[in-house]
Structure 1
Amino acid sequence: MADGGARIEPTGGYLGVTRSLSGRLWRQRTACPDLARRHQQAHGLSEPLARALAARGVDDAAAADFLNPTLKALFPDPSSFADMDRAAGILVDALEARRRIVVFADYDVDGASSAALIVRWFRAMGLDLSIYVPDRIAEGYGPSPAAFRRLKAEGADLVVTVDCGAAAHDALACAGEIGLPVVVIDHHLMRPGEVPPVAALVNPNRPDCGSGQGHLAAAGVAFVLLAALNREARRRGLTSSGEPDIRGWLDLAAMGAVCDVTQLTGFNRALAAQGLKVMSGWANPGLRALMTVAKGGSTADLGAASVFHVGFMLGPRINAGGRIGRSDLGARLLSTDDPAEAATLAAELDALNASRKQVEAEVQEAAVRQIERESNFGDAPCLIVADDGWHPGVIGIVAGRLRERYRKPTVVIGVDRAANVGKGSGRSQPGVNLGRAVQAAYESGLLLAGGGHAMAAGLSVRPEAIPELREFLCAALADETCAAAAEDGLDIDALVTARGADRAIWRDFQRLAPFGPGNPEPMFAAADVRVERPMALRGGHVRCTLTDGSGGRLKAVAWRAGDTEAGRRLMQEGGAIHVAGRLKPDDWQGREGVELEIEDVADPRRT
């Protein structure tokens, strides 16, 4: 069962853990006891669940909608978005005039989902749209003057950019010069005063937008646009035979929200929660085909969709097209109504994803060898690794993996010697603003291009400048990294025993789902457990069974931990340890049990 005891202060460390085997302080997640008590009484929650709800900052007024997020209660007025009504008017004008509209999409899941939403609405209204997705390697991110000139020459009357375009000043200026109207649907941060002259620009993160929906993915913004389009079409009498039921496409909005790692709070939480319910019907031919191939080709019941399915099974496969294959595959998959075409595209994306994983593993192994070989790297406040030929489509993933492993900001650079340029992608630790440091490096003349936000950044650099870049970023981030390391901790929601970690407690905490930024998945700790039958698995994973004085046995797995200190400790059977992780359902052979996905390990003798 879960421990409902008093809060343990972070200064002492939860279970006394001030430094785990990954170097982290364990803390009980902070919650107001009075608020937790009110949640427990008002909504019939268990004490641990009520405390977890309070710890996520959910107050009395928001609790009901958090536990049951609905579009009816949380859907924003489309008109609250700057330029939303203008965009809807322009697009319905184009529909009535039967103009040729091209959707210009980013090559990731959010871009593909946003494109599919718009394509599906116009198709339901009787107009087919074209999709254009730039090649990641040849064209880079977002619109370019060359791309807009090409679309204009091919007969485009109007371009709608999705998940890109807000910062494409040169491309948008070119569009104006050649007489190509552009409607921008985006969500990326914009600086004050940088709204470019376009037909319409809908972005909750533009400086003058009062919607308060800046945490939406582009697919969420596109979904609100569909509501605005329905309203405008209804006003003009174009929906007398029935308007498109946009609720049937909530699965696409959920794809963008989850895969773009957005804050799952408020309206965005409702989009994700309701979208997963719609997805569970597997009516979208592309998603159905992709889940089928992800599950090994079984055509049996695909079951209920979850954040795990979206984030770890569907999303990576859709992204694989943009990373190492054809950039438009994802958008085509999500927008097709042809099951045969969907099956073909899904198979191609699945094969590309397998190749992507191999390329990613090779780059990661090389990067780890480089870090471990260079004695000065390990203690550096920022890790910068670079080598020839590292594929630009996987460096961001590898940077994220290394950031998780070494608990510090990391930049991975793939060098193209023929072009004499290195393309880099970085991921950061909470409390360390990597994007600001990269921007400063660009302004100092060290980079050809560079920018980003606190947790992620991208850059281009001449190979010979990489050592100087390393020195610059390490100096710029030294203080922040030191402070972040001191605060680096793992927040625990509840204490469980090997016997008490069961399906009932997992099901209870599922009332907080869907999980993501702004609503972290519950973290459970188990004290003084012993490891039995540890097994090293292919891919560097460790599987074992945990036992304790309760007499229970809890299955557990630590992903990609084989060559870490925690993984090596799990492979030893002697002595008690503390573990922390997330409970997952284990339905193998109909057992309806749970498994602990281990996040961290602590040795009581070393805490």
Structure 2
Amino acid sequence: MADGSARPEGYLGVSRSLSGRQWRERPADSETTRRHQLTHGLSEPLARALASRGVSAEQGGDFLNPTLKALFPDPSSFADMDRAAGLLVDALVARRRVAVFADYDVDGASSAAQLVRWFRAMGLEISIYVPDRILEGYGPSPAAFRRLKDEGADLVITVDCGAAAHDALAFAATIELPVVVVDHHLMRPGEIPAVAALVNPNRPDCRSGQGHLAAAGVVFVLLAALNREARQRGLFAAAAEPDIRAWLDLAAMGAICDVTQLSGFNRALASQGLKVMSGWRNPGLKALKDVSKAEGPASVFHVGFLLGPRINAGGRIGRADLGARLLSTDDPEEAAALAAELDELNGSRKTVEQEVQEAAVRHIERASNQADAPCLVVAEDGWHPGVIGIVAGRLRERYRKPVIVIGIDRPGNVGKGSGRSQPGVNLGRAVQAAYEQGLLLSGGGHAMAAGLSVRPDTIPELRAFLCEMMAGECEVAAAEDALEFDALITTRGADRTLWTDFQRLAPFGPGNPEPLFALADARVERPMALRGGHVRCTLVDRTGGRLKAIAWRCEDTDVGRRLLSEGGHIHVAGRLKPDDWQGREGVQLEIEDVADPRQL
């Protein structure tokens, strides 16, 4: 196809698929594609895919082989980084009692574990404090700082939180508890609190250009700054310098699980971190690998779908500090016990999540005006606040519009809600406006996600307000909702060689989407509904090949129903995955979408 925009009628003529999306070819510059082919010896489809991800001819080498040496930023380019390093080394030399205050998710846990391991390598054990998601909420509080002070903390480091905790930080100052904040969340101009140091690439005056880093990536840069500061003070004259590269696996955990943009230095962290992780030398990650039955070298799939959810399970429905403790321990027996506990919690989390999701779908489908509304707001008594964000994300995928899921606590007369948005619809701004209108007890977030607290009797009014406010954006977003394709394949050409070739673009994530392929005029054979609502089938086309395929959680959707009906030809969108069952080293297609040519 020509470079630039796709044909007006859509890729393969699909202007609206069974999921309601347009299909488009991912645009790429032809000259950049040609230079990638010549410089790196790439096939045309692969070179085109590289160009379509905004990688210039000059950037191709670093993208295909991202190294820390080429991409590591100067720590001093981060506002307050040198000050933070100086304060932490001061505490180390004086043998002060240091506590890490971490958020309860993977990014917080992996950030805390890096600091624990650096200080341990320098001969000082530091403690970890993780707030209870239900009882304490998100981020530092005056009560938490008072507790740490009473327990003897001389210095607190907040990781993956703290930049917006103005009241808590002001309180810490009144009790003379120094706080170093290491965060990555967005900050507004003029909102820099008075603390000992605040390292955040998204603070308005930071010039590092690393605003897409997760907190774990910011902490990894801090480790480099700590080594430099300690070296300048001569602390390595009689002791070995910590090799921070050993903890790249932890930095990669945060980058991948926090769904950050995998470009530049952050791409190098993820890529090199997965290589380090593949050695499974961290006892906690090794124990998680064992309980999750993960196989082979570490990948984004391992991190995002096997290891990460188990770490998060502690913060969602268990003890909030389990993940940080697991990633910090050097004791294999303790790691095995913690991993087993997290694995069990994750199983419980999946059960609770499924129950809430099924109930939410029933609410939406029963309501006469809900499914067609610009924004879905669904609420019920007793929904667990630890899973409502996941459920909101699932429903957003299903209905292709912003979704807010609210669990109501009747005794407390409060509903806790979590929302996920559709690209092009700023949910955080709408929630903030609802708060300013007095419809919420609290609320905030960013374009794609938000959290809120609301009185139950105000929920209908909140729903109406949000629908009215976001109607225009939702209409535009629905019109622009599209899948972008990297290449057209056949069942005979979809093999392990093709998959391996495109793996040169890995790791995949925001800013570098996993390659999406189209299969035209395929016939479905032997479709089967599986437990969990998945649909498995075999795809056959005119080339005579046979391609195994699976579509996740789709049995009760238009896509699932069309696959199960079996008759006629369809166009299929999907991503190739390795299929190593019984050593065959093949591939299967994970179906993302389906279009019926008879309906185009």
Normalised by the shorter chain, which TM-score bucket?
A: over 0.9
Corresponding residue for residue 478 of structure 2: 485
Q: What residue identity is the alignment partner of 2:286?
A: R
Give how far 1:9 is off.
2.0
Conserved? CA contact 1:192–1:207, under 8 Å: yes
1:585–1:594 CA contact under 8 A, matched in 2: yes
Which residue is equivalent to 2:250? 252
Match of 2:129 among 128, 132, 145: 132
- Which residue is 1:509 aligned to? 502
Matched, 1:36 2:29: no
Within 2, Cα distance between the matches of 1:155 and 1:7? 62
Amino acid at match of 1:150: R
Aligned match of 1:223: 220
From 317, 326, 329, the equivalent of 1:324 is 317
Deviation, 1:8, is 7.4
Of the candidates 261, 274, 277, which is equivalent to residue 276 of structure 1? 274
Map 1:200-599 onto structure 2 (within 5 A): 200-240=197-237, 241-295=239-293, 302-599=295-592
Structure 1 residues not aligned, in runs of 5+: 297-301
Question: In the aligned structure 1, how far is the partner of 2:2 from the partner of 2:451?
Answer: 45
Q: Does 1:112 align with 2:105?
A: no
Superposed CA deviations along residues 452-511 of structure 1, whole A, max 9, x for unmatched, are 000000000000100000000000000000000000000010000001000011000000
Q: Which residues of 2 match residues 165-180 of structure 1 at below 5 A? A: 165-180=162-177
Q: CA deviation at 1:352?
A: 0.1
For the residues of structure 1 that align with 2:592 and 2:233, how far apart are their CA atoms?
A: 55
Find the aligned partners of 1:406 and 1:573 in 2 and give their Cα distance: 24
The structural deviation recorded for 1:378 is 1.1
For residues 167-221 of structure 1, the C-alpha deviation after alignment (integer angstroms, 9 at most, x for no partner) is: 0000000000000000000000000010000000000000000000000000000
Deviation at 1:11, TM superposition (A): 1.5
| CA shift for structure 1 position 242 | 1.5
Deviation at 1:239, TM superposition (A): 1.3
Instruction: State the alpha-carbon separation in 1 of the partners of residues 12 and 319 from structure 2.
Output: 50
Aligned to 1:154: 151
The separation in 2 between residues aligned to 1:505 and 1:580, in whole angstroms, is 16
How far apart, CA to CA, are the structure 2 residues paired with 1:573 and 1:200? 62
Q: Does the CA-based 8 Å contact 2:3-2:28 persist in structure 1?
A: no
> How far apart, in 1, do the equivalents of 2:56 and 2:368 lie?
49
Matched with 1:20 is 17
Moved more, 488-497 or 8-17: 8-17
Q: Partners in 1 of 2:123 and 2:190 — Cα distance?
A: 38
Q: How far is the alpha carbon of 1:7 from its aligned partner?
A: 7.4
Distance 1:319 1:328 in 2: 10
- 2:86 aligns to what? 89
The 2-side partners of 1:454 and 1:74 are apart by 28
* Percent of aligned pairs sharing the same letter: 80
Cα deviation for residue 10 of structure 1 reads 4.0
What SS class does the counterpart of residue 59 from structure 2 fall into? helix
Deviation, structure 1 residue 342:
0.2
Residue deviations 1:282-338 (CA, integer Å, cap 9, x gap): 000000000100018xxxxx4200000000000000000000000000000000000
Aligned letter for 2:143? A
Pair 269,319 (structure 1): closer, same or farther in 2 beyond 3 Å: same
TM-score after normalising by structure 2: 0.99
In the alignment, what sits opposite 1:75?
Answer: 72
After TM superposition, give the deviation of residue 581 of structure 1 in Å: 0.6
Q: Secondary structure at the match of 1:596?
A: strand
* Runs of at least 5 residues in structure 2 that lack an aligned partner in the other structure: none
In the alignment, the residues of structure 2 paired with residue 69 and residue 7 of structure 1 have an alpha-carbon distance, to the nearest angstrom, of 28
- Residues of 1 paired with 2:128 and 2:453: CA distance? 28
- Preserved contact between residue 187 and residue 221 of structure 1 (Cα < 8 Å): yes
CA RMSD in angstroms comes to 0.9
What's the TM-score once normalised by structure 1's chain length? 0.98
1:8–1:14 CA contact under 8 A, matched in 2: no
Quote the Cα distance in structure 2 between the aligned partners of 1:270 and 1:7.
Answer: 29
Aligned equivalents of 2:35 and 2:221: distance in 1? 34
Task: Measure how far apart 1:60 and its partner are.
Answer: 1.3
Match of 1:375, SS state, is coil
Task: Give the aligned length.
Answer: 599
2:98 match: 101
Look up the SS of the partner of 1:61 in the other structure: coil
Q: Secondary structure at the match of 1:304?
A: coil
| Regions of 4+ moved over 4 Å | 4-8
Q: Tell me the residue number matched to 1:299.
A: none
Aligned equivalents of 2:565, 2:286: Cα separation in 1: 42
